[in-house]
């Protein structure tokens, strides 16, 4: 019997977070990040992340996250650290910059400069971030996979 071809996962289009209230969630996240609102309804809001987005959906029912989280890539990790402190949000113990939002969603903040993740130059330009750079280690990790820019 011939093997069935499998689709290849190529990335994430969006992440959906359940929150208690859409307006409260937008107010909370706007204290931490500069963002463009893609769209909003009574029970959902969509925050642009360039060619991806974060979907906020009203109706969190489960307890707060422990290990389960997602890594949100930012242009300035230390600016987020300062914004968290100013907003009175507790940074979770450990070697990463993790926090829980008011509804228990665990988020890890990751600096764009120091990871393999990369956005296409035209997407960065469209986001007003054309001058973001990578550390030599991140460039090496990309090059080792044949993904470094020429």
Residues ≥6 apart with Cβ < 8 Å to 62:
18, 104
Digit-coded pLDDT (tens) for 43-75: 999 999 988 999 999 999 899 899 999 999 999
- The DSSP string of 71-111 is EEEES-HHHHHHHHHHTTPPBPSSSSEEEE-TTS-EEEEEE
Cβ 19 vs Cβ 101: under 8 Å? yes
Domains of the chain: 14-144 (3.10.180.10)
Q: How far apart are CA 23 and CA 104, in angstroms?
A: 17
| pLDDT at 27 > cutoff 80 | yes
Q: Per the structure block, which two tokens stand in for 104?
A: 């228990």
pLDDT of residue 5: 92
């Amino acid at each position: 019997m011939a093997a069935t071809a499998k689709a290849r996962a190529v990335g994430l289009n969006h992440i959906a977070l359940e929150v208690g209230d859409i307006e409260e969630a937008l107010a909370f996240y706007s204290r931490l990040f500069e963002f463009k609102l893609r769209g909003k309804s009574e029970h959902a809001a969509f925050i642009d992340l360039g060619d991806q987005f974060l979907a906020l959906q009203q109706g969190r029912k489960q307890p707060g996250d422990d290990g389960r989280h997602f890594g949100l890539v930012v242009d300035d990790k230390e600016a987020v650290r300062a914004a968290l402190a100013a907003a009175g949000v507790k940074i979770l113990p450990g070697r990463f910059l993790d926090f829980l939002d008011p509804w228990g969603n665990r988020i890890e903040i990751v600096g764009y400069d120091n990871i393999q993740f990369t956005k296409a130059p035209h997407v960065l330009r469209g986001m007003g971030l054309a001058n973001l750079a990578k550390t030599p280690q991140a460039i090496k990790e990309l090059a080792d996979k044949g993904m470094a820019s020429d």
